[in-house]
């Protein structure tokens, strides 16, 4: 088996650039929202679309773009996507109106959907040796996960010196570098006998993914309202039609028969379940740092950097262990480490220091860092080479769905415990409207507390913070149990590897 040389490893460094930027653009706007809101004066719905439309469209198009890369060439799709990503970034940076910025973010989502599946599929072809491929995917994973974590930090640093558009302009030189050196370092790869592209399947995949992602995300904000539930139902119904169509086709957009493989299905399921747990608690950790501990957004973002280091450590451990330890053992161990970290987080209280909270959360990221590259490698590596792009897109679409589901499910657990706890802990004598607002969300309770006189406001805030930490602990315990169960399942299902 041919081992990768200097050209392939240099090409890997090039491929980390689009992975880093694609994930960073999911979070970089967190810090810039107040500045662009003051400049462009968007309506409430427009601001939400500016924040969310990138992730929505990227998630919805991952399957389609992965399959398209298999047919027209993964390097070609990557370079086309990079050119579009850079050009639209300029449009976003200088958008004079909120409507144009929404459009630019939507186009960035379309371009961003080409990057992850193309880069992963190219890695599959560049690193034929399994051990080298695990290292390469570990490096790619570090870039992709690190990009999301450092996005708010990068955004905050740029906003200290420049206007909000600068957070988009950083994409331009990086994509220009990729376009300049990518053709020389990255080998083209595609399906040797590509079938025609099926637009009906592509539309069905988009119509299945987008409503589900939208509905699950909206459940976090609107609760069990009719709109989000209807969107999820429509998405699931379309997904059934999509899967049946793929099962009948000789050359489908997504090969659903891959799930008959215990190795593939176990790796895919592990990846999704792990994202469910880590995204759900990550969402709550951010709220805890900013609202309970009162940290400014940029300070809270800085406190999350140790968790990024934990991810890097976990990836390094997996790379070292995978040479001599079976994948089932490595994956099971990583899941148990993450479960232990979540269990530690159940002890977080109102007065817990940030360093203690993030130490516990870093244990979680060490565990997830051990599992992520291994799961991605098994997903991409066990699938046929001619389907590398579509399988990579499937894996990343699963991660997007897992993230939305984790925030919804674990957020709902935390919210239910919060409401019950707050109802019992709030001081007597509050006006009915104030009491209802305070029992719905921690943010609502803080707003109520700020409008009340000193001692009463303090009592409301103390009760709400105690209720939030109780909900946080319940969600952390649920995540811990979920990953402990996943550790058992994956160890059994992957025992033959």
User: DSSP string covering 99-117, please?
Assistant: HHHHHHHHHHHHHHTTHHH
Tell whether the model's pLDDT for residue 237 goes beyond 90.
yes
Is it the case that residue 3 has pLDDT exceeding 80?
no
Supply the pLDDT for residue 194.
66
Q: Which two tokens stand for residue 302?
A: 């800085």
Decide: helix, strand or coil at residue 320: helix
Summarised one tens digit per residue, pLDDT across range 25-80 is 777 777 777 788 778 888 767 877 887 788 888 888 888 898 888 888 889 999 99
Separation between Cα atoms, residue 396 and residue 402, nearest integer Å: 10
Is the confidence at residue 346, as pLDDT, over 90?
A: yes
Mean pLDDT of the chain: 85
Asked if residue 100 has pLDDT above 70, the reply is: yes
At 92, the pLDDT band (50, 70, 90 cuts) reads: very high
How would residue 356 be classed by pLDDT, with cut points 50, 70 and 90? very high
Q: What is the pTM of this model?
A: 0.85
Separation between Cα atoms, residue 139 and residue 116, nearest integer Å:
13
- Is the pLDDT score of 323 beyond 90? no
Task: Give the residue-averaged pLDDT of 9-30.
Answer: 84
Measured distance CA(48)–CA(32) in Å, rounded: 13
Q: How confident is the model at residue 357 (pLDDT cuts 50, 70, 90)?
A: very high
Task: Name which of 87-101, 367-381, 454-468 the model is least confident about.
Answer: 454-468
Lowest average pLDDT, out of 273-287, 405-419, 448-462, goes to: 448-462
pLDDT interval class at 246 (50, 70, 90): confident
Token couple for 268 = 């895919």
- What local confidence, expressed as pLDDT, does residue 220 receive? 66
* Residue 160 neighbours by CB under 8 Å, 6+ apart: none
pLDDT at 158: 85
Which helix (DSSP H) or strand (DSSP E) does residue 6 occupy? helix 6-27
Q: Is the model's pLDDT at 1 over the cut of 70? A: no
pLDDT band at residue 314 under the 50/70/90 scheme: very high
Helices then strands (H, E): number in the chain?
A: 20, 0
- Section 249-266 average pLDDT: 83
Q: What are the b/e assignments for 183-201, b being 16+ CB within 10 Å?
A: eebbeebbbeeeeeebeeb
Which pairs from 298-303 meet CB under 8 Å and 24+ separation? 298/31, 298/152, 298/153, 298/156, 301/30, 301/31, 301/152, 301/153, 301/156, 302/153, 303/354, 303/358
Percent of the chain with pLDDT over 70: 97
Average pLDDT score over residue span 268-294: 87
Q: Tell me how long the chain is.
A: 497
- Residue 111's pLDDT band (boundaries 50, 70, 90)? very high
- 133 pLDDT more than 70: yes
pLDDT digits over 207-227, tens only? 988 888 888 777 766 667 788
Look at residue 36 in the predicted model and tell me its pLDDT.
82
């Amino acid at each position: 088996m041919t081992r990768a040389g200097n050209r392939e490893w240099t090409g890997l460094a090039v491929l980390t650039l689009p992975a880093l930027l694609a994930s960073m653009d999911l979070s970089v706007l967190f810090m810039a929202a107040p500045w662009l809101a003051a400049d462009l004066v968007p309506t409430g719905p427009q601001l939400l679309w500016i924040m969310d439309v990138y992730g929505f469209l990227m998630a919805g198009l991952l399957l389609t773009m992965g399959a398209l890369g298999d047919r027209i060439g993964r390097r070609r799709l990557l370079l086309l996507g990079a050119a579009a990503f850079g050009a639209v970034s300029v449009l976003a940076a200088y958008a004079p109106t909120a409507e144009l910025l929404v459009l630019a973010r939507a186009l960035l989502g379309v371009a961003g959907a080409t990057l992850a599946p193309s880069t992963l599929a190219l890695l599959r072809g560049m690193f034929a040796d399994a051990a080298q491929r695990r290292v390469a995917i570990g490096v790619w994973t570090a870039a992709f996960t690190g990009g999301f974590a450092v996005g708010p930090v990068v955004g905050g640093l740029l906003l200290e010196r420049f206007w909000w558009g600068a957070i988009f302009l950083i994409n331009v030189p990086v994509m220009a570098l990729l376009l300049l050196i990518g053709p020389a370092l990255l080998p083209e790869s595609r399906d040797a006998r590509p079938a025609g592209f099926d637009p009906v399947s592509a539309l069905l995949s988009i119509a299945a993914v987008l409503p589900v992602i939208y509905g699950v995300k909206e459940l976090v904000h609107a609760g069990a309202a009719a709109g989000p539930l209807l969107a999820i139902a429509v998405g699931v119904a379309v997904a059934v039609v999509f899967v049946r169509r793929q099962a009948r086709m000789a050359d489908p957009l997504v090969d659903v028969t891959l799930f008959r493989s215990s190795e593939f299905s176990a790796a895919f399921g592990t990846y999704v379940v792990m994202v469910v747990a880590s995204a759900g608690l990550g969402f709550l950790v951010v709220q805890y740092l900013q609202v309970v501990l009162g940290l400014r957004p940029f300070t809270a973002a800085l406190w999350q950097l140790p968790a990024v280091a934990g991810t890097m450590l976990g990836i390094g451990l997996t790379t070292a262990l995978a040479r001599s330890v079976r994948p089932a053992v490595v994956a099971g161990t990583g899941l148990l480490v993450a479960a232990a970290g979540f269990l530690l987080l159940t002890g977080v209280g109102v007065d817990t220091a940030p360093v203690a909270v993030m130490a516990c959360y870093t244990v979680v990221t060490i565990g997830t860092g051990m599992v992520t590259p291994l799961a991605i490698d098994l997903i991409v590596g066990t699938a046929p080479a001619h389907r590398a792009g579509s399988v990579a897109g499937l894996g990343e679409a699963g991660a997007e769905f897992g993230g939305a589901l984790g925030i919804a499910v674990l957020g709902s657990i935390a919210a239910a415990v919060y409401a019950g706890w707050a109802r019992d802990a709030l001081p007597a004598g509050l006006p009915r409207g104030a009491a209802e607002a305070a029992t719905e969300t921690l943010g609502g309770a803080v707003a109520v507390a700020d409008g009340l006189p000193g001692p009463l406001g303090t009592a409301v805030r103390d009760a709400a913070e105690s209720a939030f930490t109780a909900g946080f602990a319940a969600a952390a315990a649920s995540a811990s149990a979920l990953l402990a169960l996943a550790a058992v399942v994956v160890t059994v299902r992957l025992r033959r590897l």
